[in-house]
């Protein structure tokens, strides 16, 4: 899957999960600082991404995914 397609899907998941206007979602959006996601919100989002991309994101890796760009890079580099 191309990086832009991954970005588009991650951005859509984030916008939907956190009820954001898609225009508010940028690559540098920080889950904890910009949208004040708590740990439960973040875990739910990671589970949604795992389903969407048919991927497993270990907890120790998920902890490092702080922005949309981090998440896109991780998924892109760990594709099956």
For residue 13, what are its two tokens?
Answer: 């998941």
Write down the pLDDT at residue 50. Answer: 95
Of the candidates 8, 16, 38, 61, the residue annotated as catalytic is 38
| 41 has catalytic annotation | no
pLDDT tens digits, residue range 23-45? 989 999 998 889 878 889 999 99
Per-domain residue ranges of the chain: 3-77
Class of the CATH domain delimited by 3-77? mainly alpha
Residue 30, beta-bridge partner list: 67
Write down the pLDDT at residue 32. Answer: 84
Query: Rounded mean pLDDT of the chain?
Result: 93
Residue indicated by tokens 């902890």: 63
Q: What percent of the chain has pLDDT over 70?
A: 100
Distance CA 22, CA 80 (A): 28
Helical pair 39-53 and 3-17, crossing angle rounded to 10 deg: 140
């Amino acid at each position: 899957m191309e990086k832009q397609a991954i970005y588009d899907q991650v951005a859509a998941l984030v916008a939907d999960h956190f009820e954001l206007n898609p225009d508010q979602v940028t690559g540098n959006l920080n889950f904890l600082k910009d949208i004040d996601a708590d740990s439960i919100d973040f875990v739910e989002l990671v589970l949604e991404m795992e389903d969407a991309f048919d991927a497993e994101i270990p907890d120790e890796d998920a902890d490092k995914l702080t922005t949309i760009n981090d998440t896109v890079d991780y998924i892109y580099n760990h594709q099956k």
